[in-house]
Structure 1
Amino acid sequence: MKRLVLLGAGHAHLLVLRAFAQSPPPDTELLLITPSRWQYYSGMLPGWMAGDYHMEQCRIEVAPQVAAAGGELILDSAVELDAGQSRITLASGRMVDYDWLSIDIGSSTNLGPLNGYAGQLLSVKPIDEFQGRWRRFVDNSSASGAGHLVVVGGGAAGVELAMAAANVVNHSQEGGGRVSLIAGDSGPVPGFNARLRRLATKKLERRGVTVIKQKAITRDGELTLADGTPLKSNAVIAATGAQAAPFLAQSGLSVDGEGFVRVNACHRSESHPQVFAVGDACSRIDGALNRSGVHAVRAGPVLADNLRAALAGLPPRPFRPRRYSLYLLACGDQTAIGSYGPLTFSGRWVWRLKDRIDRKFIEGFSAR
């Protein structure tokens, strides 16, 4: 009997579990290792902050998914991986050996220039910790006012979080507070088409968010803009990109310059063919994917097929992303902005579309 270890309960691994529940691979011992009994759906986080959802609507309980697939759930965190010995060391000290390994542990927030910030820092990842910090911020804002909340990071996540936060900050007390978005030199949502970027910038302004097209650093415990202007803030939300788990770089696996596992088009490790990696934890050698939940979800069924093939001694198949992906940005007021290739659209109907897609994903795991 072969042992397959799923390290992490990311979106792709949840889809692997669903596939295995319908048709378990024969002669396989299945283990899933994750530190939390919940997997939070990042696409609904801004909606939760804006008051559109309860947290219970934005998360999936992991244990029933593992049980349905006939596996064992280990609630623990990996602290060391020895790819040469095919062994994982957990925070509890337990060691887990594997024949096949799939890594879907996501990433943490790359705090980078925010290291040393002395104020209240709300790092978006991990989400289970962020939601607790955000609740405390909201409670304090209700009592004493929100003051100035700064969101650092001009990508899609930062833009959505800034607009969602405006719901709380602008109405936390009489006169409200204010929200600023430090979007970097390129401005909000770089990498998207020009029309979406214009719509996002205008919407941020209408939502009362001040957009600062500069980078920021921390100096003497305070935020400072690139031009030297100090930026007083009561709290900072860090949406500053992905940082790989430190143990990956010491694992013996081939990793890129940032410590993410290098994989081929089949999401198989470049250096260790018995290891697969998906989502934020990996870096495609062909450069075909950016780090997006859209790709992680679509890679899930292919990963399930490839793990099944590997266990049977068959070759895997590549995951080929679609030419265009649908991106939907929630604006915090039950409207949204969307893009699909060269097309851009906005309005309440776009938010309703996003709401339907997000709810459908969660509901797909709720019947376990």
Structure 2
Amino acid sequence: MKRLVLLGAGHAHMVALRQFARDPLPETELVVVSPSRWQYYSGMIPGWLARHYRFDQCRVLVEPTVTAAGGRLVLDRAVELRAAEQEVVLASGERLPYDLLSVDVGSASDSAGLNESDSVILGVKPIERFAENWPATERSLNARARPRIVVLGGGAGGAEIAMALARRSADCDQTGVVLVAGSNGVVPGFRPRFRRLVRRALMRCGVEIVEEYGEPVVDGVRLAGGRRMRADAVLVSTGGRALPFLGASGLAVDEAGFVRVDASHRSTSHHNVFVAGDACSRVDQRLDRSGVHAVRAGPILARNLAAAISGKPLARFYPRRFSLYLLAAGDCTAIGSYGPLTFSGAWVWKWKDRIDRGFVDSFPGA
């Protein structure tokens, strides 16, 4: 009997596990390693911050999905991956050998000044750590008369979080929110109309936009020009960095430490290792690190893991030409982008809400 280890319970792995529950893997011991009992759905976290959702509505218990797939859940964190020896070393000291490995561990917030021991500075990634640490930060903010929050990162995630925090109470004036977007401005890479709508939405809910780069320091943020900005809390949403243990694993990685994979999401150096989500780097094309692609890669990943076990040909994951992006504006409206189309309004929020709730509710642990 072969042992398949799924390292991490990210979006792609949860979708793959749901598929295994429908089509069980023959003669396979399935082990899932996750540091948390919960899988937090990133698409709903801004809505939770804005108090549109309860905490329990944004997460799924991992174990029921693992059990339905015939697997065993190990609540632990990987600290080392030894690809040559085909084993994972866990924080508890346990060594977990594998015949086939799939990695979906996400990434960490990318900032040179990030100090995870400082409660006032929170990285948005990994999402489960942010979700678990935010309540304590919120209690600290609530104890202040007019707290100031700085969000670092002008991408879609940073913009969503900034608007959600500005709307965290009925009176936007109670919380001062600053978005340090970087010199490329807000949501770079999107079409001009989308960018204009996002900027207007930020301004509508009172978010101050600073188009400079910044890094977190103990008492706030230091901007590229040298100016320091005081903050009661700094949320870092500046993109992701690869988890260090991947770069030391012996797997082929790119210059940033992400695991190189082919169109089947198989490691280019070790054919018994598959990687999905933020942790991988496609060698055949550039693939944005987003939940959209991770969810869509899930069924192909499930198919390829089953094929690798049985010795069948692998399938390729071809992302769609256009991806649907729905960005929550904090006030029960949303802004959408699909190829050349840009749209906004309350109806877009309702659409996003239906998609997000449907995804979470599709798992037995919701």
Normalised by the size of structure 2, how large is the TM-score? Answer: 0.96
Cα distance, 1:147 vs structure 2: 2.2
- Maintained 8 Å contact 2:101/2:274: yes
- Maintained 8 Å contact 2:65/2:365: no
Residue 108 (structure 1) aligned with residue 108 (structure 2): yes
Cα distance, 1:324 vs structure 2: 0.4
- Quote the Cα distance in structure 2 between the aligned partners of 1:220 and 1:15: 39
> Residue 141 of structure 1 aligns to a residue in which SS?
helix
After TM superposition, the structure 1 stretch with the greater mean CA deviation from structure 2, 113-122 or 54-63, is 113-122
- Unaligned ranges ≥5, structure 1: none
Cα distance, 1:141 vs structure 2: 3.0
Cα distance, 1:317 vs structure 2: 1.0
1:16-71: CA deviations, max 9, x gaps? 11111111121111111111110000000000000110111111111111111111
Q: Give, as a single letter, the amino acid of the residue that structure 1 aligns with 2:141.
A: S
Cα distance, 1:328 vs structure 2: 0.4
> Residue 33 of structure 2 aligns to a residue in which SS?
strand
Tell me what 1:351 maps to: 349
> Residue 21 of structure 1 aligns to a residue in which SS?
helix
After TM superposition, the structure 1 stretch with the greater mean CA deviation from structure 2, 290-299 or 208-217, is 208-217
Tell me what 1:159 maps to: 159
Tell me what 1:41 maps to: 41
- Could you tell me which of 281, 286, 289 is aligned with 1:288? 286
Q: CA separation of 1:339/1:275 partners in 2, compared to 1, >3 Å: closer, same or farther?
A: same
Residue 334 (structure 1) aligned with residue 332 (structure 2): yes
- Could you tell me which of 308, 311, 317 is aligned with 1:310? 308
Cα distance, 1:244 vs structure 2: 1.1
> Residue 337 of structure 1 aligns to a residue in which SS?
strand
- Maintained 8 Å contact 1:170/1:177: no
Tell me what 1:264 maps to: 262
- Equivalent pairs counted in the alignment come to 366
> Residue 258 of structure 1 aligns to a residue in which SS?
coil
Alignment RMSD, CA only?
A: 1.9
Tell me what 1:90 maps to: 90
- Quote the Cα distance in structure 1 between the aligned partners of 2:111 and 2:202: 23
- Quote the Cα distance in structure 1 between the aligned partners of 2:361 and 2:281: 30
1:273-313: CA deviations, max 9, x gaps? 00000000101012331100000000000001111111110
Q: CA separation of 1:116/1:219 partners in 2, compared to 1, >3 Å: closer, same or farther?
A: farther
Cα distance, 1:143 vs structure 2: 2.9
1:240-262: CA deviations, max 9, x gaps? 11111111111100001111110
> Residue 143 of structure 2 aligns to a residue in which SS?
helix
Q: CA separation of 1:220/1:121 partners in 2, compared to 1, >3 Å: closer, same or farther?
A: closer
Cα distance, 1:144 vs structure 2: 2.2
Tell me what 2:131 maps to: 131
Q: CA separation of 1:105/1:117 partners in 2, compared to 1, >3 Å: closer, same or farther?
A: closer
Normalised by the size of structure 1, how large is the TM-score? Answer: 0.95
- Could you tell me which of 240, 251, 254 is aligned with 2:252? 254
Tell me what 2:141 maps to: 141
> Residue 342 of structure 2 aligns to a residue in which SS?
strand
- Quote the Cα distance in structure 2 between the aligned partners of 1:52 and 1:235: 21
Cα distance, 1:117 vs structure 2: 10
Q: CA separation of 1:305/1:219 partners in 2, compared to 1, >3 Å: closer, same or farther?
A: closer
Q: Give, as a single letter, the amino acid of the residue that structure 2 aligns with 1:139.
A: R
Work out the percentage of aligned pairs sharing the same amino acid: 54
After TM superposition, the structure 1 stretch with the greater mean CA deviation from structure 2, 350-359 or 308-317, is 308-317
Cα distance, 1:218 vs structure 2: 4.9
- Unaligned ranges ≥5, structure 2: none
Q: CA separation of 1:239/1:219 partners in 2, compared to 1, >3 Å: closer, same or farther?
A: closer
Residue 20 (structure 1) aligned with residue 20 (structure 2): yes
Cα distance, 1:221 vs structure 2: 5.4
- Quote the Cα distance in structure 2 between the aligned partners of 1:348 and 1:189: 21
After TM superposition, the structure 1 stretch with the greater mean CA deviation from structure 2, 243-252 or 124-133, is 124-133
Q: Give, as a single letter, the amino acid of the residue that structure 2 aligns with 1:295.
A: H
- Maintained 8 Å contact 2:115/2:121: no
Tell me what 1:275 maps to: 273
- Quote the Cα distance in structure 1 between the aligned partners of 2:38 and 2:276: 19
Q: How do 1:162-173 and structure 2 match up within 5 A?
A: 162-168=162-168, 171=171
- Maintained 8 Å contact 2:6/2:104: yes
Cα distance, 1:119 vs structure 2: 7.5
Tell me what 1:54 maps to: 54
Tell me what 1:150 maps to: 150
- Maintained 8 Å contact 1:80/1:247: yes
> Residue 297 of structure 2 aligns to a residue in which SS?
helix
Q: CA separation of 1:339/1:42 partners in 2, compared to 1, >3 Å: closer, same or farther?
A: same
After TM superposition, the structure 1 stretch with the greater mean CA deviation from structure 2, 56-65 or 283-292, is 283-292
Q: How do 1:194-213 and structure 2 match up within 5 A?
A: 194-213=192-211
- Maintained 8 Å contact 2:264/2:316: yes
Residue 301 (structure 1) aligned with residue 262 (structure 2): no
Tell me what 2:225 maps to: 227
Q: CA separation of 1:59/1:323 partners in 2, compared to 1, >3 Å: closer, same or farther?
A: same
